[in-house]
Structure 1
């Protein structure tokens, strides 16, 4: 379930040249009298990092350190927790602006790893002018790990009932509720005290201390997905300390916490992730029908919406065991839930429509009555089954390769983490931040209602917060920040929203832009999760803002390079023309059930 559930942020005036370099070396900004958050962090001594070469683990030129920060900022010289930091130095140190902090999402994604990967997706001038900084949020990854069980065996036994993307039947729901309660209870007891000190507010405080540590007067930040929440928290907790803050793939922090009006609604239901996914999927089916079989494979079989409904109904009635045509081995069971999960993962890609088109064709072929052996129809069915098996194995190999790479990094750094805490990390942040219904047993009703508003995807997203039921997740952070999220920042916040994002609904970006007195909304008609890298328009606008404070014009709408069904299927360069022209950031999605597994 660790993989199932958990694998599942300017300036109006230019700050450049010598002035920017001076800004980077200036003393820490001090909060005004009465600024509680500034006073709280400013009394923490500035850490003195011991940077070391960690290129064997994370790539050439990267430096790492660990920093001891207060477990409780009310006790600045009390107990501490270790936070891991990676720095990729600016290639032009003489003209460096300062440091750019990154967060990849999650919650619980590794800032260390996205900073290590920065050379693959950030613009060349950004890499020239900024030290790239990634920190692993407390309790996660290479920082001190939160652990809610003594060992992996106890963890596996406690969550056994939730080793599916999301429950559908009454029996599955009952088992999932029990596992959710087990998670909440374990993290509220064994996981303490760290589990109660992992709110986003604590991570924002940590980031402000690290901003001071690297010598920046104000923060420059680029956060994706959950990283938008961290950026919003920082902007509102330390509004005078914002230099350039970009949030891409936006969640409304007020709804993430829960308001008086919606605190009894599950987290992912109130941020409307399901509606975002359902809207994107419906649009793909409509464009497929309009484009026709010359552009969309699935359209060759009839009305795409009707045929998807047939696939859905078939899998709800009877799952299909996918077997290797050569060996007869059952590779995985294709259920309704794994199918929905697979399609949701497909929609995270910038070329989501092409991938979904391919997969729907495979599902359609698989579910047809067996054709007469030796016919073209039988060959097509065999090809579909073989392709699904190969894709499932490829995904599994990617997971195993990622696990092996992490193990090698741990070994190179002299670390040993035999315990996978990604599940605890994900929920210790989400559940400690937000209000939720009291009882996990109420989630089936919430999921049913979400499914009516956002068919298929509403149910999947709603179950992603069931361990946060307030009756069983009882550990609390007394210093969690709950708002307001309407502060006037020193410099504008650049809010970036993607029309067709399946996880962070575009409506969130509109709400956050309206709530912040100083912000600018950059909209993107693009596909996948987040907008950076999907077009030169979006990427260059973000880079320009980070570098010199230039904001895009009011009402700017960028269009992603990859658009559904615009290139004939028989065009020789169809695949190349649909792909984005820049590398995409390795965003960590908060998606449930990321793999089609049995």
Structure 2
């Protein structure tokens, strides 16, 4: 099984892919949404569940080395169907890696992990374990990561790069004609993904990933598994808990998705999340002398930059110069809120942009370019976000501007919705409320000011899970509580090892950066937050 991700030609214009880079970093995402209950498994579904166990067999592990050379690892693959409704049809290999428990005599079992995305590599997440997870977790668990279907080493979804770029240029329509052009571009992009990837491109929904995960559990030979999922990884965990409640020993869902949202609920909560997080940054600058915007109104600075971007007055140097668009500025602000450890540098860039400093514009233009592109194939099969007309989209935009007068709306939420208009694949796993019954306690955590998976999503997911959920709130800013809050990390570690949950309604205090000298001294206790690198932006903090 290959462990080197193939690449595709990179475009020359990096700045044009600001939002494309951002969406690969989601969520990997409340109070409004559909109220459809989860369907009970049909006889066909139950037969498929039995098939998952029979297909996998015991996993054949072989020694392998992480890119860093640290830790003791084994790698393997599991063969799973492209379409779980046709288990005897075409198959592909799902890539796995595990970091063996460092204290085998006290080993509890396997801890499956997923870093989100959609599109984050669970294999690379496992490879990061020696530096990213606590000594307690490393001692007591085999940390097992898998590349979800269509991601990295697991038959990656590939799309025509020219069509990715064509879609990117149209994701912010401003007229009925440009909205129609976007729909055409989306369909062409989705069809290219199907042509270049094969049938798997039409079977990327989270429901299929859940069945893959059950095949992994069976292959591990463990009656019950533990799970830690962050961002989009929470969607996998939530839906696994629905389908396989008795296969769970412990489950932590960190920075939660909410799969019950309709298009407006998704946009509204995303916009409020970004606006709230930026407001916390602005307040931090107001009380922190070392902030480059101290003594100024950071909200007004962003508003001024946004209006200059609208007027075409913010430019990235080059030949020819490239304008910094409002959408680029919004994406930059959203990424800047993922980890307060980077706020000093973020404030410096805003200050330099405001003074027309060319160095800032050059730094601002450093966005990653996509190679493989699984994001839309997952999101557009998990959410029905069809908007009937440009008029509806324009009404959304006006209403979001009233809800979030500084940041206007979430560039991530906006591009997710718009990128799914007229996507050619079927919505295999549409929105519905969770229906979880019979699991052990599930620890659900969320930052109070999360710019990607808003607090309301975590609170609503916990309400939907019901009595099985124990909800912990981190009262700070950011995405991925395990690396932002020592209090949250201790609660997660304690629960995963001992099964002792914090009290329901527990709050962990906010942790604020002290200034430039402490910029990289995050509250992680020496652990490295792997999410920025795993999710592809490199500019979180």
TM-score with structure 1 setting the length: 0.75
Q: Which digits, 9 at most, give the CA deviation of each residue in 1:541-566, with x for residues without a partner? A: 001111110101222111243x16xx
Match of 2:335 in 1: 345
Match of 1:15 in 2: none
Match of 1:497 in 2: 446
Match of 1:65 in 2: 76
Shift of the 215–296 alpha-carbon distance from structure 1 to 2, 3 Å rule, reads: same
Report the Cα distance in structure 2 between the residues aligned to 1:137 and 1:457, rounded to whole angstroms: 33
Match of 2:277 in 1: 280
2:506 is the alignment partner of 1:556: yes
2:311 is the alignment partner of 1:317: yes
Report the Cα distance in structure 2 between the residues aligned to 1:287 and 1:498, rounded to whole angstroms: 16
Report the Cα distance in structure 1 between the residues aligned to 2:145 and 2:535, rounded to whole angstroms: 22
How many residue pairs match? The answer is: 501
Alignment check: 8 A CA contact 2:99 2:144 kept? yes
Classify the secondary structure of the residue corresponding to 1:489: coil
Question: Which stretches in structure 2 are left out of the alignment for 5+ residues?
Answer: 1-16, 27-39
Report the Cα distance in structure 2 between the residues aligned to 1:95 and 1:191, rounded to whole angstroms: 43
Q: 2:223 aligns with which of 203, 217, 234?
A: 217
* C-alpha displacement of 1:574: 4.8
Shift of the 254–6 alpha-carbon distance from structure 1 to 2, 3 Å rule, reads: same
Q: CA RMSD in A?
A: 3.3
Match of 2:207 in 1: 201
* C-alpha displacement of 1:58: 6.2
Q: 1:421 aligns with which of 360, 363, 372?
A: 372
Shift of the 506–582 alpha-carbon distance from structure 1 to 2, 3 Å rule, reads: farther
Classify the secondary structure of the residue corresponding to 1:76: coil
Report the Cα distance in structure 2 between the residues aligned to 1:118 and 1:359, rounded to whole angstroms: 32
Report the Cα distance in structure 2 between the residues aligned to 1:245 and 1:187, rounded to whole angstroms: 33
Report the Cα distance in structure 1 between the residues aligned to 2:347 and 2:244, rounded to whole angstroms: 45
Report the Cα distance in structure 2 between the residues aligned to 1:211 and 1:80, rounded to whole angstroms: 18
Match of 2:30 in 1: none
Shift of the 484–320 alpha-carbon distance from structure 1 to 2, 3 Å rule, reads: closer
Report the Cα distance in structure 2 between the residues aligned to 1:543 and 1:195, rounded to whole angstroms: 36
Classify the secondary structure of the residue corresponding to 1:540: helix
Q: 2:493 aligns with which of 517, 527, 543?
A: 543
Alignment check: 8 A CA contact 2:447 2:474 kept? yes
Classify the secondary structure of the residue corresponding to 2:93: strand
Alignment check: 8 A CA contact 2:435 2:464 kept? yes
Shift of the 89–593 alpha-carbon distance from structure 1 to 2, 3 Å rule, reads: closer
Q: Which digits, 9 at most, give the CA deviation of each residue in 1:363-397, with x for residues without a partner? A: 2211xxxxxxxxxxxxxxxxx423442x347x45x
Classify the secondary structure of the residue corresponding to 1:119: helix
Q: 1:386 aligns with which of 359, 362, 381?
A: 359
Q: 2:87 aligns with which of 54, 76, 88?
A: 76
* C-alpha displacement of 1:198: 1.5
Quick check: which has more Rg, 1 or 2?
A: 1
Alignment check: 8 A CA contact 2:93 2:155 kept? yes
Q: 1:587 aligns with which of 531, 537, 541?
A: 531
Shift of the 459–498 alpha-carbon distance from structure 1 to 2, 3 Å rule, reads: closer
* C-alpha displacement of 1:486: 2.6
Alignment check: 8 A CA contact 1:266 1:462 kept? no
Question: Which stretches in structure 1 are left out of the alignment for 5+ residues?
Answer: 9-31, 149-154, 256-261, 367-383, 404-419
Match of 1:510 in 2: 459
Shift of the 144–190 alpha-carbon distance from structure 1 to 2, 3 Å rule, reads: closer
Report the Cα distance in structure 2 between the residues aligned to 1:279 and 1:392, rounded to whole angstroms: 22
Shift of the 297–100 alpha-carbon distance from structure 1 to 2, 3 Å rule, reads: same
* C-alpha displacement of 1:440: 7.6
Report the Cα distance in structure 2 between the residues aligned to 1:331 and 1:54, rounded to whole angstroms: 46
* C-alpha displacement of 1:320: 2.6
* C-alpha displacement of 1:481: 7.3
1:512-527 alignment, distance < 5 Å: 512-516=461-465, 517-527=467-477
Shift of the 444–66 alpha-carbon distance from structure 1 to 2, 3 Å rule, reads: farther
Q: Which digits, 9 at most, give the CA deviation of each residue in 1:47-84, with x for residues without a partner? A: 33332232164634221112111223333333212211
Alignment check: 8 A CA contact 1:161 1:172 kept? no
Classify the secondary structure of the residue corresponding to 1:532: helix
Report the Cα distance in structure 1 between the residues aligned to 2:114 and 2:520, rounded to whole angstroms: 29
Shift of the 191–575 alpha-carbon distance from structure 1 to 2, 3 Å rule, reads: closer
Match of 1:336 in 2: 326
* C-alpha displacement of 1:579: 5.5
Match of 2:293 in 1: 298
Alignment check: 8 A CA contact 1:298 1:361 kept? yes
Q: Which digits, 9 at most, give the CA deviation of each residue in 1:240-274, with x for residues without a partner? A: 2221100001111222xxxxxx3xx268426x222
Alignment check: 8 A CA contact 1:137 1:203 kept? yes
Q: Which digits, 9 at most, give the CA deviation of each residue in 1:449-476, with x for residues without a partner? A: 433333435252212232322x443435
2:419 is the alignment partner of 1:467: yes
Shift of the 165–223 alpha-carbon distance from structure 1 to 2, 3 Å rule, reads: farther
Alignment check: 8 A CA contact 1:102 1:221 kept? yes
Alignment check: 8 A CA contact 1:201 1:481 kept? no
Alignment check: 8 A CA contact 2:226 2:251 kept? yes
Report the Cα distance in structure 1 between the residues aligned to 2:534 and 2:168, rounded to whole angstroms: 16
Report the Cα distance in structure 2 between the residues aligned to 1:520 and 1:199, rounded to whole angstroms: 27
TM-score with structure 2 setting the length: 0.83
Report the Cα distance in structure 1 between the residues aligned to 2:182 and 2:128, rounded to whole angstroms: 36
Report the Cα distance in structure 1 between the residues aligned to 2:526 and 2:475, rounded to whole angstroms: 16
Report the Cα distance in structure 2 between the residues aligned to 1:243 and 1:317, rounded to whole angstroms: 55
Shift of the 522–36 alpha-carbon distance from structure 1 to 2, 3 Å rule, reads: farther
Match of 1:356 in 2: 346
2:40 is the alignment partner of 1:40: no
2:89 is the alignment partner of 1:52: no
Match of 1:104 in 2: 115
Shift of the 165–295 alpha-carbon distance from structure 1 to 2, 3 Å rule, reads: farther
